[in-house]
Amino acid sequence: MDDRPAPDPRFADLEPCIDVFEDLAEEDGSRLLDWIRSGTLRPAMLSHAAEIAGDVPGADAVLLPLLEHDLAYVREGAVLGLARAAARILEAIDGVAELDEDPDLRRTATDVVDEFANAGGLPVSTRRVSVPGEDGP
């Protein structure tokens, strides 16, 4: 006999949506951002979409307003998405530090990367947002 509580039916369709969000982030990021902006996603879906959207260039303009959302787990999704975006941006700057032909620009980029490293870096997590009533990661 399984003693676990029954899954919350409000989140029964969340996992397939996460897959769709990930596919959109890779294939059509602007559509994912439009979906987030639309206001039609339920909060749990919005939270996961926001986290995944951090992989889409230009997502910060859509994610920053979510930091003011009423629900903490939506704000958490926005924070994790912004952290993903920041990590992606820092990685690009690191590439400039290593590969750019201009030594002054390489030095500037190296200084920026070093400043983040000295500040403890970016706490980027690969965990999923924890939504009340949702089972597992």
Rounded Cα–Cα distance for residues 66 and 53 (Å) = 12
Domains of the chain by residue range: 13-118
Under DSSP, the state recorded for 68 is G
Burial of 87 by CB count in 10 Å (0-12 exposed, 13-18 middle, 19+ buried)?
A: middle
Q: What is the largest CA-CA distance in the chain?
A: 67
pLDDT, tens only, 13-70: 556 688 889 999 999 999 999 999 999 999 999 999 999 999 999 999 999 999 999 9
Burial of 68 by CB count in 10 Å (0-12 exposed, 13-18 middle, 19+ buried)?
A: exposed
What pTM was estimated for this model as a whole?
Answer: 0.74
pLDDT, tens only, 55-111: 999 999 999 999 999 999 999 999 999 999 998 899 999 999 999 999 999 999 999
Both structure tokens of 87: 């990590």
